[in-house]
Amino acid sequence: MPQSKKDLRKLHQKQKVAAGVAPTERKAPNTQAVCTACRAQFRTTKRNIEIYEHWEQRHGTTHTFDQCFPGETSERLGAAAQ
C-alpha cells in the first residue's frame, strides 16, 4: 500500500534533520501573563496589546503597568503611560 503524502512529508523531514539540512527548532510555546492586581491571565504576544488594554481599562488609574504585569512590555506603552 502506498504511503500517504503526510507520511512521505514526515519521512523526508526526518531525513533532512538527520542530514543536518532542516532546522530542528520549533516555535516557542505561548506563555501566559498574569495581572497581579486581579489575577486575570492573558496570552503573551509580540505586541501585548491585550494586556495593555486590560491595564488601561481596569487598572490605569490605580496601578502602573509594571505593577500589574511585572517584566512585560507593550507596543502601546508610551512614556505618558508609565
Domain boundaries, the chain: 30-82
Closest CA to 2 of 11, 15, 16: 11
* pTM of the predicted model as reported, rounded to 2 decimal places: 0.59
List pLDDT tens digits, range 22-80: 666 777 777 899 999 999 999 988 888 999 999 999 998 999 999 999 988 887 776 44
What is the pLDDT, as a whole number, of residue 67?
Answer: 92
What is the pLDDT, as a whole number, of residue 78?
Answer: 63
46 vs 14: CA distance, rounded Å? 30
Let me know: does 37 contact 43? Beta carbons within 8 Å. Answer: no
What is the pLDDT, as a whole number, of residue 63?
Answer: 93
What is the pLDDT, as a whole number, of residue 79?
Answer: 40
All cell numbers assigned to 43 = 496570552
What is the pLDDT, as a whole number, of residue 24?
Answer: 64
